[in-house]
Amino acid sequence: MNSALGEQTASRSETRVKEVFGADAMRHVVLLFTRREDLGGESLREFVTKTNNRSLRSLVRECEGRYCAFDNRAAGPGQREQLEELMAVVERLDRERPGAFLRNDLFFEAQRLQRDGGGAGGGARGSYLAQVRAQVEKHKRDLEESERCCAPRALLGAKKWILLHMELCICLVWCSLLLLLILLTIWYHV
């Protein structure tokens, strides 16, 4: 995903990626920012962590910190360094998820159609566009479904945390009961 630094489109871009590639797509995304030169002396990491743009911070978090930036004015060795930085991020993704690069068959079909000149009489192109629309609609439904399931998932996460930290939870319950008993005793004697 490519975005200029400071743009307010992170949320829209994320939604669009999820619509086209599915709700799980962000696990495979590398953010590529442009206009790195606008940072001045600030590092990209500082910019991302200190930004007031909540949707950008959320997007970076959902992409698990896979991002880099290109300086539009870079030339020669500077361009090569930027490319090496991007490739390092992509290689990190490949190490984290071997063989799990997200691919979209419709993208490959579009490349084939373009290579073959669009098909005879536009029929192949029309069929392709219908497939794209169907896939986008399917991903929209999946995205809406995953958003609807967010609350139950949060409850299951809380339940899992409680089960993993049972001793702490029991201690908190006992402390709460003890505090309540103390407050009731004080209130009763006043």
Are 59 and 31 spatial neighbours (Cβ–Cβ below 8 Å)?
yes
Alpha carbons 190 and 183: distance in angstroms, whole number? 11
pLDDT of amino acid 3:
53
pLDDT of amino acid 166:
79
Q: Quick one: DSSP state of residue 37? A: G
Query: pTM to 2 decimals?
Result: 0.49
pLDDT, tens digit, for every residue of 68-111?
888 888 888 888 888 888 888 888 888 887 765 655 676 677 76
Please choose, from the candidates 105, 11, 6, 121, the residue with its C-alpha nearest in 3D space to the C-alpha of residue 58: 11
Alpha carbons 123 and 128: distance in angstroms, whole number? 8
Residue 8 banded pLDDT, cuts 50, 70, 90: very low
Alpha carbons 60 and 67: distance in angstroms, whole number? 7
pLDDT of amino acid 22:
67
Residue 182 banded pLDDT, cuts 50, 70, 90: very high
One-letter amino acid for residue 145 of the chain: E
pLDDT of amino acid 91:
84
pLDDT, tens digit, for every residue of 122-181?
677 777 777 777 777 777 777 677 767 666 777 777 777 777 777 877 888 888 899 999
Residue partners of 90: CB distance under 8 A and separation at least 6: 30
Alpha carbons 92 and 29: distance in angstroms, whole number? 12
pLDDT of amino acid 101:
60
Beta bridge partners of 31: 67
Pick the CATH number of 2-96 from 3.40.50.300, 3.40.50.1370, 3.40.1190.20, 3.40.50.2300: 3.40.50.300
pLDDT, tens digit, for every residue of 15-52?
667 766 666 777 778 888 888 888 888 888 888 888 88
Token couple for 34: 């442009």
Domain residue ranges of the chain, discontinuous segments joined by +: 2-96, 105-148, 156-189
Alpha carbons 38 and 5: distance in angstroms, whole number? 8
Are 46 and 9 spatial neighbours (Cβ–Cβ below 8 Å)?
no
Angle between helices 10-21 and 123-148 (to 10 degrees): 110
